[in-house]
């Protein structure tokens, strides 16, 4: 059997992103860029030296062209991305409101990404991959995107791919109950769940409420549903990896000055996927994930500071060092 053209396939909404350094009401200029959970992961995986395809849907407009041009510039395959001549590319505004607190506003209703359908993904799926990476955000965009996620997950599982799911819950997109109803049917197809500790209950049969036994019971429930790996993100407290029948692995967060926490979870996912592709052991996979997350936290922007493979060791240098 021939190897697939790409190692990772992902899709979801990429958006025009406007970012201000102060409250929007005070006026001032905004930095223009692009962002989106799966977009960020795709860039992060590509920078780490892997072949990745992004098969999302944009409008046939200037923001859509900017998104595709940026992805191609980062080495991401976009040949299976689709454009919608009747719907715009979504947009977001991130304003730094006070200190390091950011507030995000979205314009994604009736966007091109919200109109993605299972048939849009057929060429990308038929081209093959080793890993299909999904997020809960795409599932929340509407019936079409949710159907696309379910169809892609079923196809990937049937063809022996590894399916990863980052819960990535956004309370402004949908309720916890709606998230649970949509995400739990995906579990039979999923191999790896990535979630923050407060997102794990969304995958429980107990309607989003944590069982009496707490996190251990939630993880056991996921193992019972056929999940092979459960990765729990704990922010400044690092991350844990749970494997059935094995002691959990833990990685501490890397100590870096905090510049911007938005996108850190996507960076973590990119590092973890890279570790999987490189067949690293559990502790090493987590270490790479917390390292890529640290690069994101220490840099402004959702993805701009993500490391290339030859930069992963930079955080091992003493603070204030100059690499000469």
Note the pLDDT tens digit of each residue in 262-315.
Answer: 899 999 999 999 999 999 999 999 999 999 999 999 998 899 999 999 999 999
CATH class of the structural domain 8-12+37-87+113-307: alpha beta
pLDDT at 160 > cutoff 80? yes
The mean pLDDT value of the chain amounts to 93
Query: In the chain, what are the domain boundaries?
Result: 8-12+37-87+113-307
Which value, to the nearest 10 degrees, does the dihedral of the CA atoms of residues 9, 15, 21, 23 take?
-130
| Confidence band of 2 (pLDDT split at 50, 70, 90) | low
Q: Whole-prediction pTM value?
A: 0.94
Instruction: Calculate mean pLDDT across residues 46-62.
Output: 98
| pLDDT in the model for residue 213 | 55
Give the model confidence (pLDDT) of 176-193 as tens digits: 999 999 999 999 999 999
Q: List beta partners, residue 96.
A: 102
Q: Tell me the catalytic residues.
A: 266
Ramachandran region, residue 52 (left: φ > 0; alpha: ψ -120 to 50; beta: rest): beta
Q: Classify residue 77 by its DSSP letter.
A: B
| pLDDT in the model for residue 312 | 96
Nearest partner of 12 among 45, 35, 46, 28, judged by Cα? 35
Please count the other Cβ atoms lying within 10 Å of the Cβ belonging to residue 127. 16
Instruction: Calculate mean pLDDT across residues 102-118.
Output: 93
CA distances, 156 to each of 44, 134, 140 (Å): 22, 11, 20
pLDDT at 209 > cutoff 70? no
| pLDDT in the model for residue 94 | 87
Q: What are the structure tokens assigned to 164, written together?
A: 């990863």
CA distances, 63 to each of 18, 24, 293 (Å): 11, 21, 27
> Which long-range contacts does 245-254 make (Cβ < 8 Å, 24+ apart)?
246/282, 249/282, 249/283, 249/286, 250/286, 251/283, 251/286, 251/287, 251/289, 251/290, 252/290, 253/290, 253/293, 253/294, 254/290, 254/291, 254/293, 254/294, 254/315
- Please report, rounded to a whole number, the percentage of residues in the chain having pLDDT higher than 70: 97
Q: Distance between CA atoms of 184 and 143, rounded to whole angstroms?
A: 15
Cβ-count burial of 273 within 10 angstroms (0-12 exposed, 13-18 middle, 19+ buried)? Answer: buried
Q: Could you tell me whether strands 239-243 and 229-233 are parallel, antiparallel, or unpaired per DSSP bridges?
A: antiparallel
Please count the other Cβ atoms lying within 10 Å of the Cβ belonging to residue 184. 16
Lowest model confidence (mean pLDDT) among 14-28, 128-142, 178-192, 193-207:
14-28
Give the model confidence (pLDDT) of 210-238 as tens digits: 444 589 999 999 999 999 999 999 999 99
| pLDDT in the model for residue 210 | 46
| pLDDT in the model for residue 260 | 83
């Amino acid at each position: 059997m021939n190897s697939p053209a790409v190692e990772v396939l992902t899709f979801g909404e990429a958006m025009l992103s406007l970012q201000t350094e102060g409250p929007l009401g005070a006026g001032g200029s905004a930095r223009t860029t692009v962002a989106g959970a799966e977009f960020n992961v795709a860039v992060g995986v590509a920078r780490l030296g892997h072949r990745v395809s992004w098969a999302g849907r944009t409008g046939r407009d200037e923001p859509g062209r900017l998104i595709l041009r940026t992805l191609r510039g980062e080495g991401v395959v976009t040949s299976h991305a689709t454009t919608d001549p009747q719907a715009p590319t979504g947009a977001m505004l991130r304003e730094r409101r006070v200190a390091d607190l950011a507030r995000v506003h979205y314009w994604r209703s009736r966007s091109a990404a919200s109109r993605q359908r299972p048939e849009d993904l057929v060429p990308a799926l038929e081209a093959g991959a080793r890993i299909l990476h999904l997020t809960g955000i795409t599932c929340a965009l509407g019936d079409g995107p949710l159907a696309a996620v379910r169809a892609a997950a079923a196809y990937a599982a049937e063809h022996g791919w590894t399916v990863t799911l980052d819960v990535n819950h956004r309370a402004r997109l949908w309720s916890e109950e709606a998230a649970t109803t949509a995400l739990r049917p995906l579990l039979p197809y999923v191999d790896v769940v990535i979630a923050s500790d407060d997102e794990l209950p969304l995958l429980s049969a107990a309607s989003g409420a944590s069982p009496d036994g707490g996190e251990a019971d939630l993880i056991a429930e996921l193992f019972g549903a056929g999940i092979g790996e459960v990765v729990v993100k704990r922010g400044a407290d690092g991350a844990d990896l749970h494997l059935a029948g094995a002691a959990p692995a833990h990685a501490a967060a890397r100590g870096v000055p905090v510049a911007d926490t938005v996108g850190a979870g996507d960076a973590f996912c990119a590092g973890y996927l890279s570790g999987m592709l490189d067949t690293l052991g559990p502790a090493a996979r987590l270490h790479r994930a917390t390292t890529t997350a640290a690069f994101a936290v220490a840099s402004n922007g959702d993805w701009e500071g993500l490391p290339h493979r030859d930069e992963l060791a930079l955080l091992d240098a003493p603070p204030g060092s100059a690499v000469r």
